[in-house]
Structure 1
Amino acid sequence: MVTNTRRPALSWAGVAGTAHYEVWLNISRTDYDFAASGNLLDLYTKVAEPTGTTYTPTWDISDRWTYRWFVVAVSGSGARTTSDIRTFSLYLPDIETVNDGVAIVNGARDLDKNGTIEPYEDWRQPVATRTADLLGRMTLEEKAFQMFYNVQSYPMSGWHFGPAQPADLHNVLVSTAATRLGIPPVSAGDTTAGYQTTYPLQSALAAGKDYPLDYRLGDMQRKEELEVGARGTLSPLAEVGTKVLYPRIQEGGGENADVAAAQLRAQVAGLQGGPELNPGSVLATVKHWPGEGAGGEAGIVYDAVTIKYHMIPFRAAIEAGAVNIMPGYAGSSYLDPGGPGAGDSAKILNYLRQNIGYTGLITTDWLPSGAWVNAANAGSDVMGGADPGAVGFTMAGFEAQVPLARINDAVTRILRLKFELGIFDHPYGDPVNGPYRFHQPSYTALANQAARESNTLLKNNGVLPVKLNAGDNIVVAGARATDGAACCIWSSYFHPDYGSLTPLEAIRARAAKAGVNVYQDTGPSPKLAVVAVGEPSYTHATAWVDTQPYLPPDQLAVIQNFKNQGIPVVVVLTLPRPIVISDWNGLADAIVVTYRGGEETGPATAGLLFGDYTPRGKLPWQLPRSLDQVLKPGGTDTVADANESWDLPYDLGATDAQRAEIRAKIDAGQPVPTTYGNPLYPYGAGLTGWN
């Protein structure tokens, strides 16, 4: 293990006849091909071509646990001889000195406050050594508390449910230093689309398909969290949305498993600051295992063939270095017939371990206290959001009903992860000055770029871009015109601080630059009506009753009203999930889809309307032609739980023969063409120009 320099000297035995050598190192990069399969940790960069048998980097290498390198000897004739792969680790922490009662002894934090540095406190020791030493010092109670949240009330707990205001988070982190062994917690919350700066949801990003940008968004969130010592996030989702009406399809990566996989590689690598968890990482929590996009939170319905499709983004996340996976509420009729939800199903969790080869942490979703013992015994390591003070629950009962070997197994993973994050040596952020580095202009620009690239122009009869004269009038109307919250869900705790512009406000500001007047709902002689419609913000259940998959009558009436007056209509559609739009598709002169586009949705959409940039977003799902394409034939289904074939992509209006072809492609591990079925708008629809 290299611990004394960020520029380690590499050396190797010479090879006779060599003209020069090539040195290849798996340094962290920002230009990975995220669409390509394979472990990011196994990707190498040529860093030098020396003639001798030594090389010292000319730049500082960052902390990481798995550096791999090899040398190629190149002869004068061009013959190449490749060495074995060698490895080293690098960890040179900035030991934090905060008034928390922990002294610095021999350059390390004396966490147990006994005046000497034990192996677990010594950052110079390997992670495995530190983990084993600490586990051996812990009581059963201290171990069990590591599996629980709510460190705010129970300082021995392993996890903090964030986000929290910077000063509050700092106070919680400091309070844990007073515990017997000084084990720090990890703060993680539902910051699924940014910590301070809110970017588009994954389904919107799937419309943009800009994976390097997805990486930069994850990296931006990482930097904002590190400012104040938040070290985790309950995201991203490795879900493919094949159930049209599943409410949380808005959080997943669209209908295309390969797009979702590329997005997961990019976001995990961005959040974790490289191809593995390291001291500069924010811990990504990949969810919801084993793929709720195939049926929803009530039950997953894939079989031995179609499960392969839904595993693609989970495998990609692991390839990118994900070491925390959250099982969802849903059970699986295939993996555990008649069994419980994934978090407390041994069969479903065993599939993750044995069939996928996953060795990292498993954190449950927010299960009731009565399920925690079963979840732990099934193989879950952390009880997500679990409060040890819950009514009817006792830690003593948990310790008595969960075998010690199972607790040790879980806590070993937890401690190893915490050592890899470096929080024993640098547990805090900067609660005073860190917030001033939040939400920088460059971060807002990234969110704006992501919204622009996601926005999708479905149709245009020549009314866009807006080409009106100074003094002309526009009317902006519709249920979403003044709804600043529809841009986002699980939005940043701090999102309201930055006052995102509503569509009306953003259009009015942009129109003013052209001398065009904007009126709300009605105005004198309008040359154009912009009608903002769609579904307001929601999380687990849709905002519309029984997951109604079409515009409510009052929203449709606004579109119809302007059309009846002969006023050209641009519909700006907030589209968190596929809905039926056939009843008004013909009324609209142009349709702009904004999805859940983040805090810059308003300005980005206004810019599109006025031609500030060319549209490029593409639909991440098919749009149904009619409700009949969504409901199963025979009348046994209801809108609330319906989709004609929950586990298949591109199947709206598909024939039985087409569905058989889709299944055959999935079974063979081949890409599935996106042209099946008979939807109103196919997957990938969207104009990339104005005509």
Structure 2
Amino acid sequence: MTASLSTAPDGTRYRDLNRNGVMDPYEDPRLPIAERVADLVSRLSLEEKAGLMIQTIVSTTTDGEVDGPAFMPGRTTAREFVEGSHITHLNIHQIPDPRAMARWVNALQRVAAASGHGIPVTISTDPRHSFTENWGASFTAGHLSAWPEPLGLGAIADPGVVREFADIARREYTAVGIRSALHPTLDVATEPRWARQYSTFGQDADLVGRLGVAYLDGFEGDRLTSASVACMAKHFPGGGPEKDGEDPHFPYGTDQVYPGGMFEYHLEPFRRVIERGVSAIMPSYGVPRGLVLDGERVEEVGFGFNHQIITGLLREKLGFDGVVCTDWGLVTESRMMGKVLPPRSWGVEHLSEIERFRKALDAGCDQFGGEDDPALLIELVRSGAVPESRLDVSVARLLRVKFELGLFDDPFVDEDAAAEVVGSAEFRAIGTQAQSRSTVILPGGSGDAASVLPLRPGTAVHAPDISDEALREAGLEPVAEPADADVAILRLAPPFEPRDHFMLESSFHAGSLAFDDEVVATVAEVAAAAPTVVTVHLERPLLLAPLLPHAHAVVATFGASEGAILDALTGRVPAEGRLPFEIPRSTEAVLAGHSDVPGGTADPVFEGGRATLEVRADA
């Protein structure tokens, strides 16, 4: 039996979530949220409290039925998490079409309404509005409108555009029942080799802060309401300065370093969003090395276990009283698609799993991301190691967000509207235009870019990595050989060092920033036959110098379809991007730089903030 819409003796309509025929205070939509939260916390069992403090990954179904075939067979089902473990914060990866997704969410909310105190489910997701498929960080847009990566929004550098993106993304998320965004990423991109830069706004901390505030404006609004998506800003206190550019998902990337003394620079965007108001914060996996704050050396353990950082800095100094949720898999091992990733318990690997839970609680965390089982939290309380009152503090924060989002009063979505809203023609057009606008057109060294750009109607173009259909739609004439072309367009994939030992590792494009000699030779060969424009997906500050002598222009993109690229090159949508980070001269310059310092490499090819060359279609 699920919660029904009931009428109190005074005429108030409410959901009888515990099905007792009485409008209890937590069910009363007229009461202040603080009163509703306090009433519900007082009613919950230890098991229900522990379940609220777990946020786990769950597989949606391909047909939208709550018990239908799963995208990830073999995982515990959403129903089992809700009914068996009282887990009501569920993080999704693959999703079906919008109508089916909405149907799945509604069915799951009915399951939740029939359980215990009828606590509704909060569905969360990593970013999914662009082009990078990385199961540890982001997903491609799929049915949603496609935009440039956050790095491209940073290239446009306009808070108004970010606010518009976030508002559209909010409308698409809420249409299918997604109410928690595990973003924005407010890390500052100061280490050129780091794989996660595509999900940042770039190297300028002031800009990152301003765009981060605009992002929250679009997703959350002035305050959380039934129309909002709650955001989780990450990775506190700034995850950009990774030693050697390695990522702390992996055992070889644990160290976060500050050789340039720039800790406060990386913290600045978080100061901005905390002052503005944000629902949740996710600490970085990283371990601070040699960091001293207020004259005290910071314990060298992962930030999610770090009392000085979570309680001392975030809670007490910065005044944050929202939810702190750990990054995924701090306590237990992760397995997916035949690969294993050890617990990201960096600096506390010697502790048992139950001791890791306790240390994160003692640090000030409220929720454990990527864990599946609340049993150890329950054991901590039953053994007397942690008082139940400690769980109450975190549970109250978590419930407050659910109430603010209106989930207790109406968690359901309109399945017909979902199909109309998500990926609408209007939203897709705005997103595609932003892809073009984020483009940065840079001068090459083999000729004047203005002699080939903008591409004019009827131009014969050799573009082996762009479809003939897209070329013709742009008014251009595709040709098979460079010698027959007026202009050649070469679309290059970004270089990186492939790795595939750990789970998720193959999705992280890390290591060398240099193009292979064969790639450079191919560019030179084509350029010898025709004026050449090189387009590069700039997910990191790649070493462009070897390409420049062969190109009339090098075009930096940050997540763009072939149509969006051609719109920029023809001038139909003017490119207006600025480089969101510095382009180093060489590997040696990168190695000599400081991981926490923005730019600063010797003799860079292009400075961060370099504006695009102006390319406009003839009037």
TM-score bucket (shorter structure): 0.7 to 0.9
Task: Report the CA distance shift for 1:525/1:344 in structure 2 as closer, same or farther (over 3 A).
Answer: same
- Tell whether 2:3 aligns with 1:105: no
Contact 2:463 2:478 in 1 (8 A): no
Q: What RMSD in Å do the two structures reach over aligned CA positions?
A: 2.5
Q: Residue 308 of structure 1 aligns with which residue?
A: 264
Q: State the Cα distance separating 1:419 from its structure 2 match.
A: 1.0
Contact 1:377 1:402 in 2 (8 A): no
Contact 1:559 1:587 in 2 (8 A): yes
Secondary structure in 2 aligned to 1:586? helix
Q: What pairs up with 1:412-491 in 2 under 5 angstroms?
A: 412-459=396-443, 461-467=449-455, 470=458, 473-477=460-464, 481=465
Identify which of structures 1 and 2 has the higher relative contact order when contacts are C-alpha pairs closer than 8 Å and 6+ apart: 2
Unpaired runs of 5+ in structure 2?
57-77, 96-100, 131-140, 249-253, 333-352
- Tell whether 2:615 aligns with 1:685: no
Instruction: Please point out which of 647, 672, 680 is paired with 2:596.
Output: 647
- Cα distance in 2 for residues equivalent to 1:552 and 1:171: 51
Q: What pairs up with 1:21-40 in 2 under 5 angstroms?
A: none
Secondary structure in 1 aligned to 2:568? helix
Q: What pairs up with 1:580-659 in 2 under 5 angstroms?
A: 580-597=543-560, 601-632=561-592, 644-653=593-602
More helix by share: 2
Task: Report the CA distance shift for 1:518/1:542 in structure 2 as closer, same or farther (over 3 A).
Answer: farther
Contact 1:215 1:266 in 2 (8 A): yes
Contact 1:363 1:381 in 2 (8 A): yes
Q: State the Cα distance separating 1:304 from its structure 2 match.
A: 10
- Cα distance in 2 for residues equivalent to 1:553 and 1:443: 40
- Tell whether 2:190 aligns with 1:242: yes
Query: What TM-score, normalized by structure 1, do the two folds share?
Result: 0.71
Task: Report the CA distance shift for 1:303/1:682 in structure 2 as closer, same or farther (over 3 A).
Answer: closer
Contact 1:364 1:382 in 2 (8 A): yes
Task: Report the CA distance shift for 1:513/1:346 in structure 2 as closer, same or farther (over 3 A).
Answer: closer
Q: State the Cα distance separating 1:131 from its structure 2 match.
A: 0.7
AA aligned to 2:538 is L
Instruction: Please point out which of 109, 122, 126 is paired with 1:186.
Output: 122
Q: State the Cα distance separating 1:337 from its structure 2 match.
A: 4.3
Q: Residue 527 of structure 1 aligns with which residue?
A: 486
Q: State the Cα distance separating 1:373 from its structure 2 match.
A: 3.7
Comparing 681-690 with 243-252, greater Cα deviation is found at 681-690
Could you list the runs of 4 or more consecutive aligned residues of structure 1 that deviate by over 4 angstroms after TM superposition? 335-338, 466-469, 536-546
Contact 1:252 1:293 in 2 (8 A): no
- Cα distance in 2 for residues equivalent to 1:321 and 1:625: 40
Instruction: Please point out which of 262, 275, 291 is paired with 2:222.
Output: 275
- Tell whether 2:230 aligns with 1:289: no
- Tell whether 2:379 aligns with 1:397: yes
Between the aligned residues of both structures, percent identity stands at 27
Contact 2:494 2:542 in 1 (8 A): no
Q: Residue 141 of structure 1 aligns with which residue?
A: 47
Q: Residue 130 of structure 1 aligns with which residue?
A: 36
Q: Between Structure 1 and Structure 2, whose CA radius of gyration is higher?
A: 1
- Cα distance in 1 for residues equivalent to 2:377 and 2:416: 36
- Cα distance in 2 for residues equivalent to 1:545 and 1:199: 20
Query: What TM-score, normalized by structure 2, do the two folds share?
Result: 0.79
AA aligned to 1:342 is F
Task: Report the CA distance shift for 1:221/1:545 in structure 2 as closer, same or farther (over 3 A).
Answer: closer
- Tell whether 2:390 aligns with 1:409: no
Q: Residue 500 of structure 1 aligns with which residue?
A: none
- Cα distance in 1 for residues equivalent to 2:272 and 2:34: 26
AA aligned to 2:436 is R
Contact 1:318 1:358 in 2 (8 A): yes
Contact 2:176 2:413 in 1 (8 A): yes
- Cα distance in 1 for residues equivalent to 2:572 and 2:476: 15
Secondary structure in 1 aligned to 2:214? helix
- Tell whether 2:529 aligns with 1:566: yes
- Tell whether 2:168 aligns with 1:220: yes
Q: Residue 302 of structure 2 aligns with which residue?
A: 341
Q: State the Cα distance separating 1:453 from its structure 2 match.
A: 1.8
AA aligned to 1:683 is G
Task: Report the CA distance shift for 1:546/1:287 in structure 2 as closer, same or farther (over 3 A).
Answer: closer
Q: Residue 154 of structure 2 aligns with which residue?
A: 206
Contact 1:299 1:331 in 2 (8 A): yes
Secondary structure in 1 aligned to 2:393? helix
Task: Report the CA distance shift for 1:152/1:311 in structure 2 as closer, same or farther (over 3 A).
Answer: farther
Contact 2:125 2:181 in 1 (8 A): yes
- Cα distance in 2 for residues equivalent to 1:215 and 1:469: 34
Task: Report the CA distance shift for 1:288/1:516 in structure 2 as closer, same or farther (over 3 A).
Answer: same
